[in-house]
Structure 1
Amino acid sequence: MKPVKAALTGLLAIVAALAAGHLVAAFVGLSASPYLAVGNAAIDLTPSWLKDFAVTAFGTYDKAVLLTGMALVLAGIGVAAGLASRNSATPGSVVAVVLGLVGIAAVLTRPDVGQLALLAPIASIAAGLWVFRRLHRQTEEDGSRRDFLVTAGLAVAAGVAGQLLGNRTDVEGSRRAIGDLTPKTKAPEIPVGADFVKDGTPSFITSGDDFYRIDTALSVPRIRAEEWALRVHGMVERPMVLTFEEIRSRDLVEETITLTCVSNEVGGPYISNANFVGIRIGDVLREAGVKAGADQLFSTSDDGFTAGSPLDHVLERGLIAIGMNGQPLPAEHGFPARLVVPGLYGYVSATKWVTDLNVTTFAKEQGYWIPRGWAARAPIKTMSRIDRPRRMGKVQGRTVVAGTAWAQPKGVAKVEVRADGGPWQEAQLGADVSDSTWRMWRIEMDLRPGSHTVECRATDKTGYTQDQARLDPVPDGATGWHSVTFTVE
């Protein structure tokens, strides 16, 4: 067999296997797709330092990078298997079976699929073996280029069909049918001067499109509000199940809340602010009757992600949110419902696509990230960053330094800025909207032409000033003063 045809045989067998598995997964749960299941398993097994590196290096594109890397590795395996099978189909057949078994093992680890999910990796094994042996036999018999083109076309069609069928759940139709969400208690109007957009800060309210997204989901769960329900159980007197309409029919409240990711490096972008609409978790849990001794609310997502929140904090401040900025939650931000708890980093509080609330203890349950080296309790640290001037940027004339500070739920009392290690100067703060939101700041500085480095630090309303020492995000959030070096012309 010629090397080129041998390589194409192995490559097309890999493509066919993945496409068949993806197509079957469309009917038994998209997470059962061997490609996605292996990717999710890789995320689950990734050590904290590597996950932190991926978020730092690739940001919200980390999942795309993972899937692309997997595709390239699998393509290489397919080519190598084909080349190793020039004289016999056995090596390639063994590779197909081994990869299929890896897919089966990955699917078995998924908590969000049923027993029928195994049909997807089984279909992958069957398709991969059949295509490989068929093309191998035809190539030995001097098969035509048409055989390869037909096989490639069918494989691509199967993969596309699987993706389309897997996304057939009409989530956007469900969102549109909800209509307006009118809270009984509205958030206060955002006052003029809450941000300094002209000076380079973000707008005070973050749009759904711009709101940061960091989670473990390779494929966004697609759930219709009409089919969703939230189970409340565990250490409660009266377990309950709430449907979307039951939540919507309660007294909805709207609160302006800033969410922060623990992966945020000093000066990082993973913080956003929105008006969330929902019901108070405390009201639901008091209705259920929390038993003595409980200290954790253990939440589970539709895709199996789990998070543990300090119960006392959740009882006081948490929301079961169904809306964001006046609209039902976007699918990628948790539709139909998510948790929003000001003052805690998202990995212990902001479960999206939430379906289960278990009142328990920290001794009994651990959330997804805790065995991976992150802290069980993660209050947000007092922090600030410089949004403008940009790093290595150029400024003409009088210098305006502007940025953002946060200290949920304590609130920001002041921000100070200094240039080139000189005296601290107090910045002008934006309007104080809520202790659970970020606060913008600006300051004008008279700097000579040349290179300068400015630093910032925030003080919260308890009198605590953020730490100067630089610490990595693991295990409970980064610390350090943010600095930017730029040139005044």
Structure 2
Amino acid sequence: MLNSIRNNTFSFPRPFIAGVVSASLSLSVGELVASITSKTSSLVYAVGEFIIDITPGDIVRGSIETLGNYQKTVLLSSIVVLSLIFGGFLGLLSQRRSEISYFLFIAFGIFGGWTLNRDPLTSTSAALSLSVFATLIGLSTLTFLNTLLDEVEDTQIEDPRNTYANRRQFINWATGMTVAAGTMTGFGRLVLKDETVRNIREKIVLPQTETKSGSVDTQSYTEVAGSSTTTTTPSSESNLLSFSEMNDIEGISSYITPNNEFYRIDTALRVPTVEPSTWTLTIDGLTANPYEISYDEILEMDLVKKDVTLTCVSNEIGGPLVGNAVWTGVPLGEIISKARPSDSAEQVMCHSVDGFRAGFPLENIFDGRTALLAVGMNGVPLPIIHGFPARLVVAGLYGYVSAVKWIKRIELCTWDGNDGYWIPRGWSKRAPIKISSRIDVPQKRKIDAGMQVVAGVAWAPLSGVAAVEISFDSGPWQECDLGVSLSGESWTQWVYRWDAKPGKYEIRVRAIDAKGNVQSSKVVSPAPNGAEGLDKVTVRVV
């Protein structure tokens, strides 16, 4: 009776484990191959891209708002976990209906290959080869482990004394294969990954740009920006606090966001790696002179530097999905004008190498705002995750309609009948960035009585921030001191020095732009065209 209970207890997990191990080896093979070469994606990433494409816009918006920069990690982790569970189910099924189990395993491999073939960066032959190889590895593993399980069952009948030894053999094989799967994934990602593009990028030195000096603490600015020159002109108002004064405030966002801290929101699960020597940008569509331009030809043009604040439309009030950087590039007006747009051209539709596309009005290129084909960020070539070798930066527009990374084509087209990636998913087609502000300091919610600072950043593209005010417990608005901002297209640091008395306080902040527009206090969610409302924090003074 006791042996019967033990057999029933342990008969369930072993086939499940066999299926999980088989699925993990299949996935690991895909990860290993994808790590070695930049010519194909992994099966996990390919399935993730497919899920993103078919997911309704409301769910995508909710995931970005809830998870932010962790959205991709959660998605990929979920795919892996569900794939392993499905593998475990196939392992259980193989004990009763092996032909159905193997058929479903093959079908899952075909599905993975199909999603892989959808990836613009993966050829059909590579997708087919990888999916077939990974499926064969998984099926072979499942067949082998099932053979070991059959031996366990046979010894229970023929010689129960050998049952323990055969179980131990199964466990050893399953453990070894699991370790092998993890090793392949880790070794591929950490040791064998293709560093060709990264090494090429590190050797590129951007050409010098023309310097236009300003009158307010230009040296401090260039040190923060990691650059020796700037083309923007700082304000001449003497009552503005310098960059060094503002950056001495612990916890405040720096005027220039470091590259490794700049937010990243895009649809690319696998970051494209594009060799600049083979990359070209095509400008076509409704033009009289379509043409292509290479990376080297862009670097030979007259480059400019502009400090521009970018923000994601999914950013909540007070959220982190915003940053300010010095962008180096060619004015987009020069690129477009050479193509000689036709009179019917109304929209600039930009295409990425990974299939993403976004569009904005053609008039925005010629209305005086900064619109760049950018090749540099904060004095260095674009980081790979931020669009190397080239991307778009358009001041005053949310990124989902303009900030195309890894760009390969600029298509001039009509406004109607041509939509970017996010428009059918519920986002507005016109996307001007809204005036907003954020409280960075105090970071702690319990502070000491006495002199304290309340500080943060505010932005109001394109006119710029003229004033920032804070209010305590819905009391009168009080003006803050502003830091230097080198253009209306970048954010402004602000600070308020507060003689804090014991008690509990709710602090709110609002910005006012150069045209007199006051940041709205009405609470509006990010969808479909950007959040509204006032950032607020509650602190207790002791």
Q: Given the two structures, how large is their TM-score scaled by the length of structure 2?
A: 0.85
Q: Which residue of 2 aligns with 1:137?
A: 147
What pairs up with 1:74-85 in 2 under 5 angstroms? 74-85=83-94
> Offset at 1:276?
0.9
1:275 aligns with 2:326: yes
Contact 2:457 2:493 in 1 (8 A): yes
- The answer to whether the aligner puts 1:66 opposite 2:66 as a matched pair is no
Q: Which residue of 1 aligns with 2:55?
A: 46
Corresponding residue of 1:415: 468
- Give 1:387 shift: 1.2
- Listed one character per residue, the Cα deviations across residues 294-343 of structure 1 (whole Å, up to 9, x for unaligned) are 11111111111111122111244310111111111111111111111111
1:127 aligns with 2:177: no
Specify the alignment match of 2:124 in structure 1: 115
What displacement does 1:255 show? 0.9
Q: Deviations over 1:213-254 (max 9, x none)?
A: 111111211112222211111111111111110000011111
Alignment partner, residue 382 of structure 2? 329
Q: Which of 427, 430, 439 is the equivalent residue of 2:483?
A: 430
1:106 corresponding residue in structure 2 = 115
Paired position in structure 2 for 1:197? 247
- CA–CA distance in structure 2, aligned partners of residues 28 and 446 of structure 1: 59
- Give the corresponding residue for 2:266: 215
Q: Provide the rounded CA distance (Å) in 2 between the counterparts of 1:393 and 1:218.
A: 39
Is the partner of 2:305 in helix, strand or coil? Answer: strand
1:8-28 residue CA offsets vs partner (Å, 9 max, x unmatched):
210111012212334455688
Q: 1:478 Cα deviation (Å)?
A: 0.3
Structure 1 residues 225-244: aligned runs within 5 Å: 225-244=276-295
Distance of aligned partners of 1:463 and 1:170 in 2 relative to their CA distance in 1, 3 Å threshold: same
Matches within 5 A, 1:176-191: 176-185=202-211, 189=218, 190=221
1:340 aligns with 393
Q: Matches of residues 334-373 of structure 1 in structure 2 within 5 Å?
A: 334-373=387-426
The residue type paired with residue 442 of structure 2 is P
| Alignment of structure 1 residues 370-389 onto 2, 5 Å | 370-389=423-442
Letter in 1 for 2:400: Y
Q: Are the aligned partners of 1:253 and 1:278 in contact in 2 as well (CA < 8 Å)? A: yes
User: Who wins on radius of gyration, i.e. which is larger?
Assistant: 2
Amino acid at match of 1:112: L
Tell me which amino acid in the other structure corresponds to 1:408: P
1:302 maps to: 353
TM-score, normalized by length of structure 1? Answer: 0.93
Between the aligned partners of 1:385 and 1:114, the Cα distance in structure 2 is: 45
Mean Cα deviation higher: 17-26 or 393-402: 17-26
Asked if the contact 2:36–2:193 (Cα under 8 Å) also holds between the matched residues in 1, the reply is no
**Matched position secondary structure for 1:358:** strand
Partner of 1:90: 99
Give yes or no for the alignment of 1:262 onto 2:290. Answer: no
Structure 2: how far apart are the matches of 1:102 and 1:115?
Answer: 14
Contact 1:25 1:166 in 2 (8 A): no
User: Which shows bigger deviation, 117-126 or 372-381?
Assistant: 117-126
In 1, Cα distance between the equivalents of 2:523 and 2:213?
36
**CA contact under 8 A between 1:17 and 1:128: conserved in structure 2?**
yes
Q: 1:395 to 1:60 in 2, by over 3 A?
A: farther
Question: Deviations 1:337-388 (Å, cap 9, x if unpaired)?
Answer: 1111111011111111111111112213211111110011100001111111
1:203 & 1:310 partners in 2: Cα distance?
Answer: 32
Which amino acid in the other structure matches residue 76 of structure 1?
Answer: I
* Secondary structure, aligned partner of 2:466: strand
- The answer to which of 448-457 and 54-63 deviates more is 54-63
Matched residue type, 1:4? P
Residue 224 (structure 2) pairs with residue 173 (structure 1): no
Give the distance between the partners of 1:480 and 1:159, measured in 2 at CA: 45
Shift of residue 166, structure 1, vs aligned partner: 7.8
Q: Is the 8 A contact 2:40 2:123 kept in 1?
A: no
Worse overlay, 91-100 or 456-465: 91-100
Instruction: Tell which deviates more after alignment, 409-418 or 170-179.
Output: 170-179
Instruction: Please tell me whether the aligned partners of residues 392 and 485 of structure 1 are also in contact (alpha carbons under 8 angstroms).
Output: yes
Q: Deviation per CA, 1:411-463, whole angstroms, max 9, x where unpaired? A: 11111111111111111111231011001111123443111001111111111
More moved, 311-320 vs 468-477? 311-320
Q: How many pairs were matched up?
A: 489
Change (3 A) 1:300 1:201: same
Change (3 A) 1:306 1:356: same
AA partner of residue 34 (structure 1) = L
CA distance in 2, matches of 1:97, 1:434: 58
Cα pair 1:391 1:484 within 8 Å, conserved: no
Relative to structure 1, the CA distance from residue 164 to residue 95 in structure 2 (aligned partners, 3 Å threshold; closer, same or farther) is: farther
Shift of 1:277: 0.7
User: What amino acid maps onto 1:184 in structure 2?
Assistant: E
Whole-Å separation in 2 of the counterparts to 1:332 and 1:283: 26
Identity of aligned residues (%): 36
CA distance in 2, matches of 1:303, 1:39: 13
Decide whether aligned partners of structure 1 residues 422 and 161 sit closer, same or farther in structure 2, where only a CA change above 3 A counts. closer
Q: How far apart, CA to CA, are the structure 2 residues paired with 1:274 and 1:141?
A: 64
**CA–CA separation in structure 1 for the residues paired with 2:190 and 2:498:** 55
Q: Among residues 495, 498, 505, which one is paired with 1:442 in the alignment?
A: 495
The RMSD of aligned alpha carbons is: 2.3
CA distance in 2, matches of 1:71, 1:30: 22
Q: 2:44 maps to what in 1?
A: 35
Q: Give yes or no for contact 2:350–2:409 (8 Å, CA) kept in 1.
A: yes
Aligned-residue offset at 1:155? 3.9
AA partner of residue 167 (structure 1): K
Contact 1:11 1:79 (C-alpha < 8 Å) held by counterparts: yes
Maintained 8 Å contact 1:196/1:202: no
Structure 1: 5+ residue stretches without partners = none
Deviation at 1:5, TM superposition (A): 2.5
| Structure 1 residues 72 and 393: CA distance shift in structure 2, 3 A | farther
CA contact (8 A) 2:41 2:270 kept: no
Q: 1:227 aligns to what SS in structure 2?
A: coil
| CA–CA distance in structure 2, aligned partners of residues 244 and 437 of structure 1 | 27
Q: CA deviation at 1:99?
A: 1.8
